Each structure stands twice: as structure tokens, then as C-alpha cells.
Amino acid sequence: MNTITAAITAVGAYVPDFVLSNKVLETMVDTNDEWITTRTGIKERRILKDADKGTSYLAIKAAQDLIAKANIDPLEIDMIIMATATPDMMVASTGVYVATEIGATNAFSYDLQAACSSFLYGMSTAAAYVQSGRYKKVLLIGADKMSSIVDYTDRTTCIIFGDGAGAVLFEPNYEGLGLQDEYLRSDGVGRDFLKIPAGGSLIPASEETVKNRQHNIMQDGKTVFKYAVTNMADASELVLKRNNLTNEDVNWLVPHQANKRIIDATAGRMNLEDSKVLMNIERYGNTTSGTLPLVLADFEHLLKKGDNVIFAAFGGGFTWGSIYLKWAYDKK
């Protein structure tokens, strides 16, 4: 029996229509386009304005895009992993609702939350299910409605985040393509530096927590930046060394789109030329769980069968890591 590897065989994506540009943000908080662009690389981000639509809406749209492009029957999907930091609601899984809404009624589903590393961790999980031989089609969705947790009076966070979703399908491969290696890590030291303080079991929602804006995302930007630069770069470099890869062997870097300076530092550590670094941060900002699949969707036309692709991410908690994957198809 041939060894089973888990390969990405299809990609889908969705971003809302409304564009929140740096120029518009200038009218909302004390900031300006030059300051934002210089420090983050972001020019605009997409926002889901509909008050009655949550992260599930973004996820459903991305999944439907993948299903339509790949021409697959939703009933053939075995399981769905919903990577998100902004579920529709507590307790009731967003992934379960998404599975039902897209017609994947033969699939079981659950949510996976590791902040901005959620999709990266989800790749590892999806691949493991496929490599076990137990499941044939695993749909991994990364989606976040970050605008629902952003305080638009806080210029340190509101300039960074946007809304969006992407999805990939993992299937068995017998040519040695797909996920090759991973280095995933976490460290609880990050708990106080990037968080939403209230709304969980530690500090339940109350009139006071709402008044104090404790249900919005808060971060110590300098500390998060320092850890992100070091750990994303370290993880990516380690994966290269462990697999005897040089910068010449790497075709593409797919980094989490949090800050252009973090991406540049990671690419620099890997000694990669700019043309190999895939970025769309200027158009979407940080969509958290949605960044990695949105990059794949935007640049799918460049990816060729057999390409060596390195993924890297860093998120709150702290969570981080890198994955080495061999691309499995040429876009038709």
C-alpha cells in the first residue's frame, strides 16, 4: 500500500464588499495613511457591515466558492474544521452551522481556536485525519469577522484588522505531495499581551465590562511584534533546516498577514527574494484565521504542482509555527 500524504486540492475565498481605507480611518481616529502604511503595510481592509451576519456568513461564502470551483458534491465532504477566533456565539459551534448550511450533512464539524495561528494548526489537524486513512475529504475553513471585536476608537488595533474567509480541501495523495513537515509551538506567557479580557468564564459579561470596552481586542503592540518577529522567523528557518531545504529550494512563502515588517523579517531570515513572498496585506489587513487561505486564493494561479511552499503564522496566546507543504496541482 502506498503511503498516504494529505494534499490541498482546492481553494475558495470570500471578502465583504465594503472597503475601509486608511483615508476613511483618518476621519475616525487620530491616524493617517502614511503612518499606517509605514508601520503595517496596510492600505485598506474589508468589513462585513451587515449587523445580522456573523463569521458563519463569511465561512459559508468561502466554502461555497470552493465547492463551485472544484465541482464537488458537499455530501462527499467527510468533516469540516472551522478555524476562527470570532465564532458566531458561545457553545453552539459555528462550524456545525456552516456544515449544515452548505449541505455537507454527512460531515462532522467543530471549531478550532488558536488566534491568528488557527488556520495553521487546522492544516496540521486536517492533514492528520487524511493521513490516517479514515477520511477522504476534509474541508478546512479560516474565517473571522474581526470588526465585531475591534474598538474603532483605539487606533492601535482598529488600523490592523479586517474581515474575510478562505477555505481549502485536503485529500489523500499518493505522489508524495501535500504536507511534509510542521513545527508548531505555544507559550502561555502571551496571555496578557493579546486578548479580549471579558466574556469568558474568568470575567463574565456584565454592564461594567461592556462599559469598560472589555469585550474588544486589546494588545501590547511592541511585545507582540517582538515575539512574532522572532518566533515566526525561527520556526520557518527550523523547518528549512530540518528538511535540508535552502532558500533556492523554496518556491513560495505564505506568511500570516499581520504586519509587513514581520513578514519581511521572516523572509529575511530565510534569505528569500521578495518575488517568493506572497502578500495581500495591503488590501485586506489582518483577517486572523482568514489570512493564509486568502493568500492561497489570491495567488493560486502562480502555484505549480511540486512547488515547495512554507507557511508561517503567529497568534495570541502565544501560538505560532511553520508548515512545509508540496503543492499538488496546477490551476486549470
Which residues are catalytic, by number?
116, 256, 286
Provide the CB-side half-sphere exposure for 60 (13 A, CA): 16
Hey, which residues does 161 pair with through a beta bridge? 286
Contacts of 119 (CB under 8 A, 6+ apart): 83, 140, 142, 166, 289, 290, 291, 292, 293, 313
Q: Look-up: residue for cell 504542482?
A: 305
Largest CA distance in the chain: 62
Q: For residues 284 and 46, is the Cβ–Cβ distance under 8 A?
A: yes
Cα 10 from chain centre: 16
Q: For residues 65 and 167, is the Cβ–Cβ distance under 8 A?
A: yes
Contacts of 117 (CB under 8 A, 6+ apart): 184, 256, 313, 314, 315, 317, 319, 320, 321
Q: Look-up: residue for cell 489587513?
A: 285
Question: Among the residues of 220-312, which ranges form H helices?
Answer: 221-242, 260-269, 281-284, 291-299
Q: What is d(CA 184, CA 74) in angstroms, rounded to the nearest whole number?
A: 30
What would the grid cell of residue 226 be? 517582538
Per DSSP, 286 falls in state B
Q: What is d(CA 307, CA 46) in angstroms, rounded to the nearest whole number?
A: 30
DSSP string, 25-41: HTTTSS--HHHHHHHH-
Q: For residues 144 and 164, is the Cβ–Cβ distance under 8 A?
A: yes
Q: Look-up: residue for cell 475558495?
A: 12
Three-state DSSP class for residue 51: coil
